[in-house]
A and B are shown apart, each in its own frame.
Chain A
Amino acid sequence: MTKELTVMMLTWEFPPRIIGGISPHVYYLSRNLAKNGVKVYVVTCDFPGAPQYEVVDGVEVFRVDSYKNPSPDFASWVYLMNVNMQKEAAALINGLGGNVDIFHAHDWLVANAGIGLKHVFRKPLLTTIHSTEIGRRNGIHFDYERMIHETEAWLTYEAWRVICCSDYMVSHVKWAFGLPADKLVMIPNGVDAEVYTRIEQENLSSFRSKFALPEEKIVLFVGRLVYEKGVHVLVNAVPKVLEKVNAKFIIVGNGYMKEQLSNIVKNMGLARKVHFTGFVDDETLRKLQKCADVSVVPSLFEPFGIVAIEAMAAKSPVVVSDTGGLSEIVEHEVTGIKVYPNNPDSLAWGIAKVLLDENYANLIKANAYKKVQEKYNWNKIAQQTKANYETVLSEYSKSVWA
Chain B
Amino acid sequence: MCAFHVVKTMYIIIFSWEYPPRVVGQLANYVREVAVHLTKNNIKTTVVTYHDFLTGEYEETEGIKVYRVTNPVHTHIGVLTWVLTLNQEVERAAANIYYNLHKQVDLIDVHDWHFIPAAVTLKKALNLPFIFSVESLEEHRSHGADLPFNMAIKSLEWLGMYEAAKLIVKSEWMRDEVFRLYKVPLEKIKVIPPKSPNWFRNILETYKSVAGGEAPND
Contact = CB atoms under 8 A, between A and B. Distances in A.
Interface of A: 68-73, 75-76, 79-80, 82-83, 86-88, 90-91, 93-94, 112, 115-117, 119-122, 143-144, 146-147, 150-151, 154, 157
B99 A122 contact: yes
Interface of B: 72-78, 80-81, 84-85, 87-88, 91-92, 95-96, 99, 117-118, 120-122, 124-127, 147-149, 151-152, 155-156, 159
B124 A147 contact: no
Nearest to A147: B75
Contact of A90 (B78, B88, B121, B152): B121
A154 B121 contact: no
8 A-B pairs closest in CB distance: A70-B151, A90-B125, A79-B84, A90-B124, A146-B75, A72-B148, A69-B155, A120-B125
A93 B121 CA distance: 11
Given A122-B95, A122-B99, A80 B121 contact: no
Nearest to A75: B81
Contacts of A87: 117, 120-121, 124
B81 A71 contact: no
Nearest to A401: B99
Nearest to A68: B155
Contacts of B118: 116
A122 B103 CA distance: 13
Given A69-B151, A76-B81, A119-B88, 16 more contacts: A69-B155, A70-B148, A70-B155, A72-B147, A72-B152, A76-B77, A76-B152, A83-B121, A88-B124, A94-B127, A112-B87, A120-B126, A122-B99, A150-B73, A150-B75, A154-B85
B152 to A, nearest CB: 5
A80 B76 CA distance: 15
Nearest to A73: B77
Contacts of A116: 87-88, 91-92, 118, 121
7 contacts: A69-B155, A71-B152, A83-B87, A94-B124, A119-B96, A122-B99, A150-B74
A87 B127 CA distance: 12
Contact of B77 (A86, A91, A115, A144): A144
A79 B118 CA distance: 13
